[in-house]
Amino acid sequence: MFKKLTKNLTFWVFAGGVLGYVAALVGGDPGWASDPAPPAFFDLIQLVKTTFLALLRMLVAPVIFFSLIGGLLSIGDAHRLKTLGGVTMLYYLGTTIIAICIGLTVVIFIHPWVGTVERMTIETLADDAYGVMPQFIDTGTGSIIRVLTNLLAAAFTNPFAALAELNILGIATNAFILGLALLLAVPPDSPLVTGVHHINRLLHKVLSWVILTTPLGIFAILFDVTLRSGGTLLHSLLGFCAVVVGGTLLHGLVVLPLIARYLGGVGPSEFFRKAGKPLMVAFATASSAATLPVSMQVCEDEFGVSKTVSGFVFPLGATMNMDGTALYEGIAAVFLAYLFGVDLGTIGMITIFFMAMVSSIGAPGMPSGSMAGMQMVLLGAGIPLEAIGILLVVERPLDTIRTAVNVEGDMVGALVTQRYFERSGTGGRRAAPATHQ
């Protein structure tokens, strides 16, 4: 048992975070952060932290760009987009917006970390070349016309310039335009489309190598942040986890069952009784992609969803429908903005809303796959990239819950799409649910 545990990367990430926190409390001196000549040990900690963040930053732009294009290409072909795509995409967009609104509403009224941790200002991080990133929207801009002007100028820019300057909005906009053009103009078996999928696999492989260094990076980040925050970070993280779990359960136990009841024609008790197996698999694996075969089988056999609908909705949902992820990213961005002294304001909240919605599209359906999207949200709101190291300490436990909600959203989407096409008479016929003797 212990041998298996020590081979688990999640165990080492957690251990690295705990060791960094304890080491800072026991052997650290808060004065090191402002000392022009700190001990060599602290310089080494800073070197590890800076290197880890540099590796993450190196991958941010290409991962976001090709993941978003790959997410659009996962639709398959333009014909399916015209028939099944409309109602499915409308459902995905609607539930994602609801999830983000829940997350931001909850975090506005419930924020147990306020007053429990010493806030770090951007100035205390100014000496870190990889800690502070500029916002692509000036939250101090008063005129809404000026805000829209800045938004459009950042969005419609040269794709190469956007990638080089880490202009997140520009990267996302170009990825959407190019991805949609590829979907409509290029055959699915084109070498260009295949190349995009190969590049995504290549980037995920490189990202997996970087993830192997996560325990060291988390140790260094938590050591540094604990010194700067006065040692009260753990209490704030527990409060953050409670808010995330509460908001996620509200979406998964109230909002989605109501949608299934009134738009999918399946009551909450029937839905959870039949959907229990894929939800448990999603919770155990923290991977919506790994749960895909189970979800499709249950929807076809237990709910009678046609193979045409399930064959489109579920593969698309595994990369584009991330309700739990979007909700989590919204709450996490507000929490980290408070921790690092970033004044969001109304425009900042709108920025988080928009970036959380965009980043949930194309997120890899694997454990901790939302971290690339989380970087996108942080950079868009001007929150230091090292903040992601704080999240990684509690990432995996929260990932299991939100993955289950992501899969639940896919299943409800299949029910809604099936019912819509039955009523319109244009979709696949509902299969007879399997009978069990």
- Determine phi and psi for 136, rounding to 5 degrees: -85, -5
Q: What is the mean pLDDT of residues 18-22?
A: 84
Spatial separation of the C-alpha atoms in residues 116 and 130, rounded to whole Å:
26
Evaluate whether residue 191 is within a structural domain: yes
Mean pLDDT of the chain: 77
Spatial separation of the C-alpha atoms in residues 179 and 391, rounded to whole Å:
30
Q: Residue 360: which pLDDT band, with cuts at 50, 70 and 90? A: low
Spatial separation of the C-alpha atoms in residues 259 and 271, rounded to whole Å:
11
Lowest mean pLDDT among 134-148, 184-198, 222-236: 134-148
Helices 387-424 and 9-27 pack at an angle, to 10 degrees, of 140
Query: 174 CB contacts (<8 Å, ≥6 apart)?
Result: 65, 157, 159, 162
Evaluate whether residue 277 is within a structural domain: yes
Query: 154 CB contacts (<8 Å, ≥6 apart)?
Result: 136, 137, 167, 169, 170
Q: Residue 124: which pLDDT band, with cuts at 50, 70 and 90? A: very low
pLDDT for the residue 5: 56
pLDDT for the residue 411: 93
pLDDT digits (tens, 9 = 90+) for 361-398: 655 545 455 666 677 787 777 777 777 777 877 777 78
Q: 236 vs 142, which has greater pLDDT?
A: 236
Evaluate whether residue 268 is within a structural domain: yes
pLDDT exceeds cutoff 70 at 237 = yes
Spatial separation of the C-alpha atoms in residues 230 and 227, rounded to whole Å:
6
Q: 344 vs 331, which has greater pLDDT?
A: 331
Evaluate whether residue 431 is within a structural domain: no
Spatial separation of the C-alpha atoms in residues 55 and 303, rounded to whole Å:
45
This model's pTM is above 0.75 = no
CA distances from 279 to 2, 275, 300, 363 (A): 27, 6, 15, 19
Q: Which of 198, 225, 188, 191 is nearest to 73 (CA)?
A: 188
Query: 163 CB contacts (<8 Å, ≥6 apart)?
Result: 61, 62, 65, 171
pLDDT exceeds cutoff 90 at 115 = no
Evaluate whether residue 267 is within a structural domain: yes
Write out the chain in H/E/C secondary structure: CHHHHHCCHHHHHHHHHHHHHHHHHHHCCHHHHHCCCCCHHHHHHHHHHHHHHHHHHHHHHHHHHHHHHHHHHCCCCHHHHHHHHHHHHHHHHHHHHHHHHHHHHHHHHCCCCCCCCCCCCHHHHCCCCCCCCCCCCCCCCCCHHHHHHHHHHHHCCCHHHHHHHCCHHHHHHHHHHHHHHHHHHCCCCCHHHHHHHHHHHHHHHHHHHHHHCHHHHHHHHHHHHHHHHCCCHHHHHHHHHHHHHHHHHHHHHHHHHHHHHHCCCCCHHHHHHHHHHHHHHHHHHCCHHHHHHHHHHHHHHCCCCCHHHHHHHHHHHHHHCCHHHHHHHHHHHHHHHHHCCCCCHHHHHHHHHHHHHHHCCCCCCCCCCCHHHHHHHHHHHCCCCCHHHHHHHHHHHHHHHHHHHHHHHHHHHHHHHHHHHHHHCCCCCCCCCCCCC
Spatial separation of the C-alpha atoms in residues 352 and 340, rounded to whole Å:
15
Evaluate whether residue 236 is within a structural domain: yes
- Determine phi and psi for 143, rounding to 5 degrees: -85, 130
pLDDT exceeds cutoff 50 at 227 = yes
* Per-residue buried b or exposed e for 191-218, using 16+ beta carbons within 10 Å of the residue's own CB: eebeebeebbeebbeebeeebeebbbbb
Taking only Cα atoms into account, the Rg of the chain, rounded to an integer number of angstroms, comes to 22
Lowest mean pLDDT among 118-127, 188-197, 343-352: 118-127
Evaluate whether residue 147 is within a structural domain: yes
Percent of the chain surpassing pLDDT 70: 77
Evaluate whether residue 353 is within a structural domain: yes
Query: 395 CB contacts (<8 Å, ≥6 apart)?
Result: 13, 368, 371
Q: Which of 324, 414, 310 is nearest to 363 (CA)?
A: 324
In the chain, the number of structural domains is 1
- CB hemisphere CA count around 133 (13 angstroms): 26
pLDDT for the residue 49: 85
CB atoms inside a 10 Å sphere around CB 116: 16
Spatial separation of the C-alpha atoms in residues 309 and 323, rounded to whole Å:
20
**For the chain, what is the largest distance between any 2 Cα atoms, rounded to a whole number of angstroms?**
76
pLDDT for the residue 190: 87
- The encoded tokens of residue 384 equal 């230091």
Domain of residue 79, residue span: 2-424
pLDDT for the residue 82: 65
CATH number at residue 386: 1.10.3860
